[in-house]
Structure 1
Amino acid sequence: MFSLPLLLSAFLPQVLGCADHANHHAPLHNKRQTFNASAALRIPTYWQYDESQDWGKINPNYSLCQTGTQQSPIALLFNQGLSQAHRPHFNGYTANSTGQFYNWGYGPSFTFYHDEGVYDTLPSMEMDNETLYMTGWHVHAPADHTVGGDRSKAELHYVHYDATGRERAVVAIRLDPGQDDSRFFAQFPSPMIHFNDTSSIENMAIDPMQAIREVANFSNFWTYQGSLTSPPCKEGLRWFVARNILFTSVRQMQDLLGASTFSARAEQEVWLHQVNV
């Protein structure tokens, strides 16, 4: 049985920041579990996505949200072309990767199990001769990025760290309703865990490669130098945004949106982002 401090230490980092999906603790049992700490685990109310233009005023540690030169998200355009460099390779995305499915307070989320400070056991990708490790994924609704002025219903973020535990890259896939079920989202329980329920956990194994397959194996993409899309807006991350959209069924999209609340940061002006460079 887990103590409340241990549970808090496992989940507070995940719900307090967009890309902080490190979970260093062993699994609970292989079924959904609920603990009496939901009030302590709620997203803090002192910053909100619909007030993102004021994040820099709230806390001096959030100053990059106002002064940064590579803030995310940005508007992407079809006439920018697509990247011919920094191609990611997902050979280390293995099926039956185990972790915890939960709601990060804004939408569905997943964290892979790994020992504290150990990242090389996680699903991995290669980028510019560097191996990066995916700690987990989460969904923003609506999408953070617009493409050609259009904003998708939601956006899936695969968050990657280097071997030292530094955030290095985000693989982003836009989500919209189509005709058939997405095999990626079919892996997860329905209905999904609601945004008001930050205390439920589903322990399970998933195939992270399935989402990549559903966007033509990420063969076409935009890339740029950017930041976290929530405070403290840390810069130095490489973003990859798939050209193709991952389509879900209408039922799956309704499930995703029903489990989510508004989490799209205002678009940032392109500055030193080096789009597709």
Structure 2
Amino acid sequence: MEAGNAVKVEKIDELQPNYMEIPLSLTNNGHTIRANTSKGKLNFGNNEYDLLQFHFHAPSEHLLNGMTYPLEIHFVNGTADGRMAVLGVLVKAGAHNPAFQEILEQSPKHIGDTINPPIMIRPALLLPEHTQHFYTYAGSLTTPPCSEGVQWFVLQDILEVSEQQIRDFSSKFYHDNARAEQKLNGRVLDVH
């Protein structure tokens, strides 16, 4: 670089999930186990989204370096004007996760059932320790009708749950409830 040339440095937008403690409410919708909520925020730049629900896929719907993971959690966020943002968390076998265990123990076994046990849960405990490194792209929901216009954020850091917890989710609830790998189809993948 020649002397005298100024370089403009822009701050990369930070992803800030602020998911509060909520009463546990779980629905078996025939496709996954969904945790129902209306508390929590996801902030990215000047955009703020409300946490609407989170649910689970086995195996993961996103691949990282060509590799699938045994589970993926989707935190579905939205705004009053209909904008959507989904935070994807890849899950691998490792340490036991007490928050995920509560979900496993309390989830309804019958399709269509909703259970509201007198238990509080912190969705933030279903995030890896670090959330500052992520991939983002404009995509769609992964379940029908697969609506477009969703801003995706997929964390690079991986959450751990135990091997037994992965087996329990897959054997008691859902396995192969993930959408098949999709091509980028011209979408731009940004890395933060």
Equivalent position SS for 2:154: strand
Q: What is aligned with 1:246?
A: 159
Contact 1:191 1:255 in 2 (8 A): no
Matches within 5 A, 1:96-107: 97-107=22-32
What is the alpha-carbon distance in structure 2 between the residues aligned to residue 237 and residue 266 of structure 1? Answer: 18
CA deviation map 1:98-152 (0-9, x unaligned): 251122212321001x5xxxxxxx2112112121001110101111011112111
What is the alpha-carbon distance in structure 2 between the residues aligned to residue 200 and residue 104 of structure 1? Answer: 9
Q: What is aligned with 1:208?
A: 123
What is the alpha-carbon distance in structure 1 between the residues aligned to residue 99 and residue 76 of structure 2? Answer: 17
**1:87 maps to amino acid:** E
What is the alpha-carbon distance in structure 1 between the residues aligned to residue 68 and residue 45 of structure 2? Answer: 29
What is the alpha-carbon distance in structure 2 between the residues aligned to residue 252 and residue 99 of structure 1? Answer: 18
Q: What is aligned with 2:179?
A: 265
1:145 aligns with 2:70: no
Q: What is aligned with 1:172?
A: 88
Greater helix share, 1 or 2?
1
Contact 1:107 1:256 in 2 (8 A): no
What is the alpha-carbon distance in structure 2 between the residues aligned to residue 171 and residue 183 of structure 1? Answer: 21
**1:263 maps to amino acid:** N
Equivalent position SS for 1:184: helix
CA deviation map 1:52-77 (0-9, x unaligned): xxxxxxxxxxxxxxxxxxxxxxxxxx
What is the alpha-carbon distance in structure 1 between the residues aligned to residue 164 and residue 125 of structure 2? Answer: 19
Gaps in structure 1 of 5+ consecutive residues: 1-83, 115-121
Equivalent position SS for 1:226: strand
Distance 1:228 1:86, change over 3 A: farther
Pick one of 71, 90, 94 that aligns with 2:20. 94
Contact 1:106 1:262 in 2 (8 A): no
What is the alpha-carbon distance in structure 2 between the residues aligned to residue 193 and residue 271 of structure 1? Answer: 37
Distance 1:197 1:244, change over 3 A: same
**1:147 maps to amino acid:** L
What is the alpha-carbon distance in structure 2 between the residues aligned to residue 127 and residue 181 of structure 1? Answer: 30
What is the alpha-carbon distance in structure 1 between the residues aligned to residue 79 and residue 130 of structure 2? Answer: 22
CA deviation map 1:68-91 (0-9, x unaligned): xxxxxxxxxxxxxxxx8443112x
Q: State TM-score, norm by structure 1.
A: 0.59
How many equivalent pairs are there?
179
Equivalent position SS for 2:165: helix
Greater strand share, 1 or 2?
2
**1:267 maps to amino acid:** E
Deviation at 1:200, TM superposition (A): 4.3
Deviation at 1:222, TM superposition (A): 0.9
Q: What is aligned with 2:5?
A: none
Query: Which consecutive segments of 4 or more residues in structure 1 shift more than 4 A?
Result: none
Distance 1:267 1:211, change over 3 A: same
